[in-house]
Structure 1
Amino acid sequence: MRLLLIEDEEPAADQLRLFVHQYSPAAQIVGECQQVSEAAAYLRQHPAPDLILSDIELLDGNVFSLFEQVAVTSPIIFITAYDSFLVQAFEQNGVGYVLKPVQYAQFAAAMQKYERLRQSFQGALLQQLTQAYATPAPRYKQRLVSKSRAGLYLLDVAEVAYIQLRNGVAHALDGKGRAFVLNETLSQLEAQLNPAAFFRLNRTEIVQLSAIQRLEPYFNDTLVVHLKGQAITLTSSSHRTPQLRKWLTD
């Protein structure tokens, strides 16, 4: 925890240093100021501290004038002999208000309040960031619908060996070679099927990874795709072959 101490009375500053160390030996007072002008200069030149411990009436005026000189983003525990600034304090980054003479129990209670607020804000911020940047998992088709005179047939995507364009109409073919007419275009199907499982070989064919038995080189940097349990072969277009090789090894 990095703290900035704003206090113009040395005995009070000594006491706060002692209380800070007693509360958290790991806490570090990164700066000490006795005047508003010093505090403004410090905040302009250094990263914002995690917390500010500040008196209100200082050598060169009221600490609330600090907010007119520089943007103060750190929370503040105000430590003062006056109780008349309470409302103003909580309008200006105040998370605690401790009256002098300061007792350690009061100081510790204010520090605990600050830590509770910090944890709450960090948790809320983390949740907001997670929600803002979380990318919903894409939902891919789990089944295809084929229409025929007999009605509708539901084909599980896992059963599809490949999809082929025949006379301008997409057909899904299973491992037994049975063909099912689909309503979607090949481009629509390419977008709707999981790219980890399906690959578009060319303008007319999409193949499922689990249906591939082996591949063999063909001319002009194309590949012949042999399917499991089927005599038919498919062929990748030359411009898709590099992507096919990468897809197979991902």
Structure 2
Amino acid sequence: MRLLLLEDEEPALALLRRFALTYYPAATIVGECQQVAEAAEFLRTHPAPDLILSDIELLDGNVFTLFNQVTVSSPFIFVTAYDQYLVQAFEQNGIGYVLKPVQYASFAAALQKYERLRQVMQSAALQQLAAALPQAAPAPRYKQRLLSKSRQGVYVLAVADVLCIQLRNGVAHALDGSGRTYPLSETLAQLEAELDPRTFFRLNRSELVALVAIERLEPYFNDTLAVYLRNQPGAPLVSSSHRTPELRKWLAG
């Protein structure tokens, strides 16, 4: 907490200092000014304090003239013997008005009001900041299971068990580690969009392959690659030539 004190009478200044440090033991009193001109110069040349505790009549005039000389962003608690300035005080930066002779209870009540206002302002500022920040897009949710419908019923196939998906006679079929295939109702394009692209790759127009299923790659022809699956005898899958560079990047992570 950074406090600026504006008071032209030394006993009153000492009391103000003592009350302020009683309420805020860790506060820093960044300045003590007895004149409006002195306060204006301080505010021009220093960072704005968190709070200003100020008398109204200073050595060189009324403190309200300060607002005509310099931009003041800090809130004020006015500590004064004059009650006629109450309305003017709150038309400026006033958030508290304590009459002399100052009692600690009334001084502390003004600071409690300041604390409440500060908490409200901080909360509002955080809400505005949160609203202004771009919202992170929710992480996409990919399929964790596939459904294969047949005359016998519906088979639930975990995506983690799928080695590849192939288009056969216009119907997508999933192949699992046992070599069994399951017809699916989705198109290959739908499955490509619904499966995690870090896990499945579109090799060509008719095949998707799972990363964990790949055992090795071999050059094939015309910039294509033969993709051999783990524990799966028979002909390899073959990448299309225009997908081969992307396949290499995908495998490299």
Normalised by the length of structure 1, the TM-score is 0.72
Q: CA 1:174–1:111 in structure 2 vs 1: closer, same or farther (change >3 Å)?
A: farther
The whole-number CA distance in structure 2 between the counterparts of 1:213 and 1:130 is 43
Encode CA deviations 1:44-95: one digit per residue, 9 max, x unaligned. Answer: 2222222111222223333233333333222221212222222332333322
2:244 to 233, 237, 246: 237
Q: Which has the larger radius of gyration?
A: 2
Percent identity over the alignment is 52
Q: CA 1:104–1:222 in structure 2 vs 1: closer, same or farther (change >3 Å)?
A: farther
Q: CA 1:165–1:58 in structure 2 vs 1: closer, same or farther (change >3 Å)?
A: farther
Shift of 1:161: 4.5
Q: CA 1:115–1:147 in structure 2 vs 1: closer, same or farther (change >3 Å)?
A: same
Letter matched to residue 52 of structure 1: I
Letter matched to residue 91 of structure 1: E
2:186 to 162, 179, 182: 182
Native 8 Å contact 2:167 2:188 kept in 1:
no
Paired position in structure 1 for 2:89: 89
The whole-number CA distance in structure 2 between the counterparts of 1:92 and 1:207 is 71
The whole-number CA distance in structure 2 between the counterparts of 1:103 and 1:59 is 23
Q: CA 1:177–1:55 in structure 2 vs 1: closer, same or farther (change >3 Å)?
A: farther
Q: CA 1:183–1:18 in structure 2 vs 1: closer, same or farther (change >3 Å)?
A: same
Once the two structures are overlaid, the 10-residue window that deviates more, 56-65 or 169-178, is 169-178
Encode CA deviations 1:143-163: one digit per residue, 9 max, x unaligned. Answer: 79999999x999876665445
Native 8 Å contact 1:222 1:238 kept in 2:
no
Paired position in structure 1 for 2:76: 76
Native 8 Å contact 1:170 1:185 kept in 2:
no
Residue 110 of structure 1 aligns to a residue whose secondary structure is helix
Which stretches of structure 1, 4 residues or more, deviate above 6 A after TM superposition? 143-150, 152-156, 220-224
Check if 1:218 corresponds to 2:218. yes
Gaps of 5+ in 1: none
Gaps of 5+ in 2: none
5 Å-filtered alignment, 1:55-66, equals 55-66=55-66
The whole-number CA distance in structure 2 between the counterparts of 1:241 and 1:95 is 66
Once the two structures are overlaid, the 10-residue window that deviates more, 55-64 or 94-103, is 55-64
Native 8 Å contact 2:148 2:157 kept in 1:
no
Tell me the matched-pair count.
Answer: 239
Once the two structures are overlaid, the 10-residue window that deviates more, 228-237 or 5-14, is 228-237
Once the two structures are overlaid, the 10-residue window that deviates more, 55-64 or 235-244, is 235-244
Letter matched to residue 103 of structure 2: Q
Residue 14 of structure 1 aligns to a residue whose secondary structure is helix
The whole-number CA distance in structure 1 between the counterparts of 2:12 and 2:91 is 24
